[in-house]
């Protein structure tokens, strides 16, 4: 089973700042198989990024993904008030699909 580790656990930032979230895999993950999700309190997760760097339908371009191998990054270029949430990475190179533990982005 591929284990995903996310850092930091919590990121405290102000609106307008840049957020950089990390996802590290226990073994190499093809970039095609790495996705990111956003979850706000009381809501279902929402797909942000698939294939490590492709934005899902309707996702603003302030969200971007990058990385390869075992290290992946989600960047939010300028935080908007609605971006304060928890972010999860996910892989599916092989079953079982696994998620990282999440990074909470909260207001400083």
Q: Which two tokens stand for residue 79?
A: 């935080």
**Cβ closer to other proteins: 17 or 31?**
31
Distance of closest approach, residue 22 Cβ to other proteins, in angstroms:
16
13 burial (CB, 10 Å; 0-12 / 13-18 / 19+) is: middle
Q: Does 102 interact with other proteins (rule: CB under 8 A)?
A: yes
**Separation between Cα atoms, residue 35 and residue 90, nearest integer Å:** 5
How far apart are the C-alpha atoms of 65 and 70, rounded to whole Å? Answer: 14
Query: Residues 42 to 101: which contact other proteins by CB under 8 A?
Result: 44-47, 50-51, 54, 56-57, 88, 90, 92, 95-101
Q: Interface residues with other proteins (CB under 8 A)?
A: 1, 32-33, 35, 37, 39, 44-47, 50-51, 54, 56-57, 88, 90, 92, 95-102
């Amino acid at each position: 089973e591929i284990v995903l580790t996310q850092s930091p656990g919590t990121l405290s930032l102000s609106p307008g700042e840049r957020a950089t979230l990390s996802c590290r895999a226990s073994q190499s993950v093809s970039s095609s198989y790495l996705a990111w999700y956003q979850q706000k309190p009381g809501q279902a997760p929402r797909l942000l990024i698939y294939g490590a760097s492709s934005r899902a339908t309707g996702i603003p371009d302030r969200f971007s993904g990058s990385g390869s191998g075992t290290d992946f990054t989600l960047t939010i270029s300028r935080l908007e008030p609605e971006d304060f949430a928890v972010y999860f990475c996910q892989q599916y190179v092989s079953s079982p699909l696994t998620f990282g533990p999440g990074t909470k982005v909260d207001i400083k």
